Amino acid sequence: MTSEVLTILEKDGKVQKGKDPNLSDDRLRLLFATMVKARILDERGLTLQRQGRIGFYLQALGQEASHVGSAAPMLDSDWFFPAYRQPGIPLLRGAELDQIVCEWFGHQGDPSKGRQMPVHYSLRSINFVSISSPIGTQISQAAGAAMAAKIRKEDTVFMTYFGDGGTSSNDFHAGLNFAAVYKAPVVFICENNQWAISVPASRQTGSETMAQKAVAYGMPGIRVDGNDVLAVYRVCQEAVDRARKGEGPTMVETVTYRMGSHSSSDDASRYRDEEEYERWKQRDPIVRFQEYLARRKLWTAEWQAELEQEFKDQLNAAIKRAEAAGKPELGSMFDDVYLKPSAQLLAQRTQLQSLGGAADEEIGEFPL
């Protein structure tokens, strides 16, 4: 066990010798483009919230390398049990932008039919399991899905995400324990962004690192520089391979930083120092990766400007469509409780429909 952090990207885009995962040029550019898009998505999301057009938003600012780098080694047939701070994964895997944006509005076109707060995606087309708010619950679910794949002798690999705060949850303990006992093909990604809303990682646990928690379960625990997309990729590629080969689970701690507030409801300046932010800004994962790419002549300012513009255009168009799509119709509220609505649900739907229209706007007078 060590508290050492694997870093590959050094100052000015240099790399540590012998550690480069040697990705193809296309792959490198894809990772970069995805990180840039994720940041744009986050920017627009928060803006829409500030404009009062959507009800809530939550950014992954500064954590783009951590989640894009870890997700990249996964095959299309592999599954994610995400937390709420991995917007780059849907972008990386080519999910439809309309589905994402409709979810923000809770409007028609949202695969989850307006049932959840913004950024709680469900994207079955890319094996991205419905996000839920309760912290940690996805961890043991991912372990279980991996147990199932193993029982069925399928070689699917599972990856699940959680924060430093998430390591304190019941499901962290249960999920890692079960995964290790059954040697399930799952990779646990702890994105240690140093904060759980206002609680610093140092008050979250008495352990020096999150990775060392893996010792409790007898599984490898690896610490990696979460703002270094190459290092994250490398470590996760190894973990995914290990899982696929039947060698069991791995926990990876990506050491990173939440550069924004927790969410649109939070104001980090109430509880943390500007200075800490400034320190981490020096390690911005997009800038570091860009320097590396530039050094390898894989990046130009024009290329980036172009991909940004293209993505912004797509996004704007999607937002326009989503905003216009309107809320799900009243009756849909009673669907999907069960495969078929119960008699009770049918009666309740009829009763609500008989009142007519939405109470949404002004509440009319009910004749007594």
Partner 1 sequence: MANMTLLGAVNDAMATEMRNDDRVVVFGEDVGKKGGVFGATVGLQDEFGTDRCFDTPLSECGIIGTGIGMAVYGMRPVAEIQFLDFIYPAFDQIVSEAAKMRYRSGGEYTCPMVIRSPYGGGIRGGHYHSQSSEAYFCHTPGLKVVIPSTPADAKGLLIASIRDEDPVMFLEPKRIYRTVKGEVPEGEHVVPLSKGRVVREGTDCTVVAYGAMVHICEQAAEQAAKQGRNLEIVDPRTLVPLDEDIILSSVKKTGRCVVVYEAPKTCGYGAEIAALIAEQVIEYLEGPVVRVAGFDTPFPYALENLYMPDVRRILEGVQRTFTW
Nearer CB in complex with ligand TPP: 258/288: 258
The verdict on 73 binding partner 1 (CB under 8 A) reads no
Residue 277 engages partner 1 in binding (rule: CB under 8 A): no
Note whether 220 and 187 are within 8 A (CB): no
Strand partners, 253: 190, 223
Question: 85 contacts which partner out of ligand TPP, Mg ion, partner 1, none, CB within 5 to 8 A by kind?
Answer: ligand TPP
Interface with a second copy includes 4 (CB under 8 A)?
Answer: no
Q: Is 226 in the site for ligand TPP (CB under 6 A)?
A: no
In the window 158-177, what residues touch a second copy (CB under 8 A)? 168, 170, 172-174, 177
Judged by CB under 5 A, which stretch of 21-29, 41-49, 155-163, 285-293 contacts Mg ion? 155-163
Instruction: Give 271: exposed, middle or buried? Use CB within 10 Å, 0-12, 13-18, 19+.
Output: middle
Other residues' Cβ atoms within 10 Å of the Cβ of residue 316 = 12
Answer yes or no: 120 catalytic: no
Of residues 138-197, which lie at the interface with partner 1 (CB under 8 A)? 139-149, 151-152, 165-166, 168-171, 173-175, 177-178, 181, 196-197
Query: Which residue minimizes CB distance to ligand TPP?
Result: 163
Q: Which residues in the 209-228 window bind a second copy by CB under 8 A?
A: 212-213, 215-219
Only segment of 46-54, 151-159, 189-197, 220-228 that touches ligand TPP (CB under 6 A): 189-197
Measure the CA dihedral 229/172/149/253, to 10°.
Answer: 20
Q: Of 262, 146, 247, whose CA–CA distance to 196 is shortest? A: 262
Helix (H, G, I), strand (E, B) or coil at 276: helix
d(Cα 211, Cα 116) in Å, to the nearest integer?
32
Residue 136, C-beta contacts closer than 8 angstroms, at least 6 positions apart: 162, 166, 169, 170, 171, 172, 175
The answer to whether residues 37 and 29 touch, using CB atoms and an 8 Å cutoff, is no
% helix / strand / coil in the chain, to the nearest 5? Answer: 50, 10, 40
- Whether 271 is catalytic is yes
Asked whether the beta carbons of 250 and 213 are under 8 A apart, the reply is no
Binding to ligand TPP by residue 166, rule CB under 6 A? yes
Q: How many residues bind ligand TPP (CB under 6 A)?
A: 15
Q: Is residue 253 near Mg ion by the rule CB under 5 A?
A: no
Q: Assess 205 for contact with a second copy (CB under 8 A).
A: yes
Task: Indicate the residue among 181 and 294 with the shorter CB distance to ligand TPP.
Answer: 181
Minimum distance of Mg ion from residue 162's CB (angstroms)? 9
Q: Which of 59, 70, 112, 193 binds Mg ion (CB under 5 A)?
A: 193
Shortest reach from residue 142's CB to a second copy, in Å: 16
Active site residue: 67, 223, 262, 283, which one? 262
Q: Which helix (H) or strand (E) holds 225?
A: strand 221-225
Does position 317 interact with a second copy (CB under 8 A)? The reply is no
Containing 311, the helix (H) or strand (E) segment is helix 301-325
Q: Which residues bind Mg ion (CB under 5 A)?
A: 163-164, 193, 196
Active site residues: 258, 262, 271
